[in-house]
Amino acid sequence: MANGKLIIISAPSGCGKSTIIGEIIKNADLKLEFSISATTRAPRRGEIDGVNYYFMSTSDFEDAIRNDELVEYEEVYAGYYYGTLKKEISRIQEAGKNVILDIDVKGGVNVKKKYGPDALSIFIKPPTIDTLRHRLLSRGTDSIEAINQRVDKAAYELTFADKFDRIVVNDILKDAISEVENIITDFIKD
């Protein structure tokens, strides 16, 4: 097969990106491999370097920026960089797989611009902002301050939805998963 395609999944934090990606990646027909991002934030409990993220110091990340090693990067939260390494995309494509990216909404728009028809961008929306807050609270991975920061930011990020190829509302999880799988199946078939 030619170079694998890119599937971008973006959404405000807590909308269900990781949950949805965790499920669709099990579908072997989609030939997906997760693009592990680089970040300068600290690992959460249970996160492993080289599995969830490539955890980097700020100075190493800034070296990577200077050396043009990133497809895109954003300071997603004040003081914390997140970015997609060029060598990560080529590693996956060279293995004959399609690349799935879990990146913030600005990064999603930038990657789509760079890759054009070779990329499909999907925006995951929560049914309401209130539902989003409840999901972040029950996920239990972030402090109340971090949750408030994420929910405030979500209202702004939702305004990016119409810049994406497709929008999927994550209300009933299994329906959202099927919808995303169908959209990807259709995209990778040609």
Q: Which residues bind ligand 5GP (CB under 6 A)?
A: 13, 37, 41, 72, 74, 76, 82-84, 102-104, 107
Which of 97, 106, 133, 135 is in the footprint of ligand ADP by CB under 6 A?
Answer: 135
In the list ligand ADP, ligand 5GP, none, the entry touching 15 (Cβ below 5 to 8 angstroms by class) is: ligand ADP
143-172 residues near ligand ADP, rule: CB under 6 A? 170
Q: Which residue in this structure is represented by tokens 């990146």?
A: 103
Provide the terminal-to-terminal Cα distance of the chain, rounded to the nearest Å.
Answer: 11
In the list ligand 5GP, ligand ADP, none, the entry touching 14 (Cβ below 5 to 8 angstroms by class) is: ligand ADP
* 98-102 sheet: strands from edge to edge: 32-34, 98-102, 6-10, 119-125, 166-169
7-36 residues near ligand ADP, rule: CB under 6 A? 11, 13-19
DSSP H helices, the chain, are 17-24, 58-66, 86-94, 105-115, 129-139, 144-157, 173-188
What is the nearest approach in angstroms of ligand ADP to the Cβ of residue 67? 29
Question: Hey, what are 62's tokens?
Answer: 């800034």
CA distance linking residue 142 with residue 151, whole number of Å? 12
Q: Is the distance from CB of 5 to CB of 96 less than 8 angstroms?
A: no
In the list ligand 5GP, ligand ADP, none, the entry touching 126 (Cβ below 5 to 8 angstroms by class) is: none
What is the nearest approach in angstroms of ligand ADP to the Cβ of residue 54? 18
- Verify binding: residue 107, ligand ADP, rule CB under 6 A: no
What is the nearest approach in angstroms of ligand ADP to the Cβ of residue 37? 12
CA distance linking residue 84 with residue 70, whole number of Å? 6
Q: Is the distance from CB of 12 to CB of 132 less than 8 angstroms?
A: yes
In the list ligand ADP, ligand 5GP, none, the entry touching 133 (Cβ below 5 to 8 angstroms by class) is: none
Helix (H) or strand (E) holding 119: strand 119-125
**Residues contributing to the site for ligand ADP (CB under 6 A):** 11, 13-19, 135, 138-139, 170, 173
